Amino acid sequence: MRGPHNIWRLIRTGATLERTGAMGFVLDAFEAPPALRVLARSVAWPFRWLGYRGDPAMPPATRALTALGPAYIKFGQVLSTRPDVVGEDMARQLRVLQDDLPPFDTATAKKSVLHELGRDPDVIFSAFSGPVAAASLAQVHKARIAETGEEVAVKVLRPGIERAFRKDIDAFYFAADVIEFLLPFSRRLRPRDVIRHFDGVVSGELDLRLESASASEFADNTEGDAGFQVPRVKWEYSGRRVMTLGWAEGAPLGDNAALDAAGHDRHALGNRVLSLFLNHALRDGYFHADMHQGNLKVAANGDIIAYDFGIMGHIDEYTRRVYAEILYGFIQRDYKRVAEVHFEAGYVPPDRDVDEFARALRAVGEPIFGMDATRISMGRLLSYLFEVTERFGMETRTELILLQRTMVVVEGVARSLDPAVNIWDVAKPVVSDYIRQSIGPRALARDLALTAKVMARFGPRLPGLMEDLLIRQARAEPAPRPARWPWVLTGGLGGLAIGAAAAFGAAVWLL
């Protein structure tokens, strides 16, 4: 219940922010005015002794959220995907939050398996290890299926985590309402929308059936990708609070020493991480949105293995085409085309000058292309691009925020493997191939063929629709008129049918 009883939770939160030194950092990130800074520090300082101390070795924001517990850790992880709200500096600091929390005991995990699957875990599994990883929502155990001998990873939600998150989310909603009411200027940051986004993300992650579905879809999409593996879901051993996947054995992608000892080519791995992400985002429109080193391994044969599918990104076909054209325009240094794409997509108001916008984009792109490979940053390009579009009245495109954030993370992963990875050299063939496949005569033929299929589904209803149209027309006109409608309608439908047939034939011929 989002009532005043949440005030105590907020006091404890403010006290922890003050005690850990995160308060000033948060106020800076939100560009709070001086009056608000004075007020916040004055209110929080007397209660700082109530705050948690946290780990002094961590950065302030990370230290505070880690001390406050799993809900706050997860909130920080989600906020790290919204640099448009919290700023780049805070988003970067929040990305280092580690899923390294105290585990719960194995006996409790087995009870959850028994309750969820209705079968004794000691019968299902011939081996069931202690926790091998403990995150904010769940922990993972290594097990062996008794029937087949296959090794699997069993993910189990923390006991009572749903209720604990519900309480904290209610407090977050209450805080957002208070902030919007007392500080009208904060509404442009949409605090309540941010909490609603967080609520939706967490609600999805608290039902492991949804994560299982995400993992299954991602595995199907990427089955043919060379050098990439996604563990398969074991549906018969999965449920709302338990998820079982094939075990992924490999070296952590973030351990360069282990990769070198295993003889892996880190430069090739860096290139592959980038190209895989771009392919998933552009080709499939469905991508792993949490591709940091902790969720990636390298198998003995050099394949990259992805796991933890709690946060996935989706972009529709139209947005993919727009995004690809923007990237391709920058790669080709065709700033006029990049500007035109923004206007065509409605990203920039039509009353702005397209040539002026193109010049602003040139000022963004040219300095970056003058850098050597170790300094080229696609993430920096997107950041600069959003700054320019903001100046030209472009509203925040929420569907691109997660994509931008993931690209920045993936770029960081690639650079951690080899600083000499050239982002543009990797992106150019992927984006060019997508442009050829999705924009041009073949793509047009496919679009027309899909349109024809949709129209064909309405075929049985056309006589009724025509009769209904004629009746409506007769009722609307008191005096009878020459029978134009049947001819016009029939001719129009005939033209559509002919056009659909031609489109379908062209699609078959081209494809």
Cα angle for residues 422, 427, 433 (degrees, 5° grid): 150
* Alpha carbon distance 452, 486 (integer Å): 22
325 closest CA partner among 447, 443, 450? 443
SS3 for 89-123, per residue? HHHHHHCCCCCCCCCCCHHHHHHHHHHHHCCCHHH
Task: Encode 46-84 in three state secondary structure.
Answer: HHHHHCCCCCCCCCHHHHHHHHHCHHHHHHHHHHCCCHH
DSSP 283: I
Contact between 285 and 320 (Cβ < 8 Å): yes
Task: Provide the sign of the torsion angle of the four alpha carbons 383, 24, 195, 73, taken in this order.
Answer: positive
Tell me which DSSP letter residue 237 carries: G
Identify the sign of the CA torsion 211, 213, 217, 222: positive
List % helix, strand, coil for the chain (3-state, nearest 5): 65, 10, 25
Q: Please tell me which residue in 99, 290, 308, 418 is annotated as part of the active site.
A: 290
Angle between helix 191-205 and helix 70-79 axes, rounded to 10 deg: 120
> Taking the CB of residue 355, how many other CB atoms lie within 10 A of it?
10
Active site residue 170: no
Check if the beta carbon of residue 251 is closer than 8 Å to that of residue 258: yes
Q: Give the number of other Cβ atoms within 10 Å of residue 30's Cβ.
A: 17
Q: Which two three-digit tokens encode residue 55? A: 């780990």
Active site residues: 290
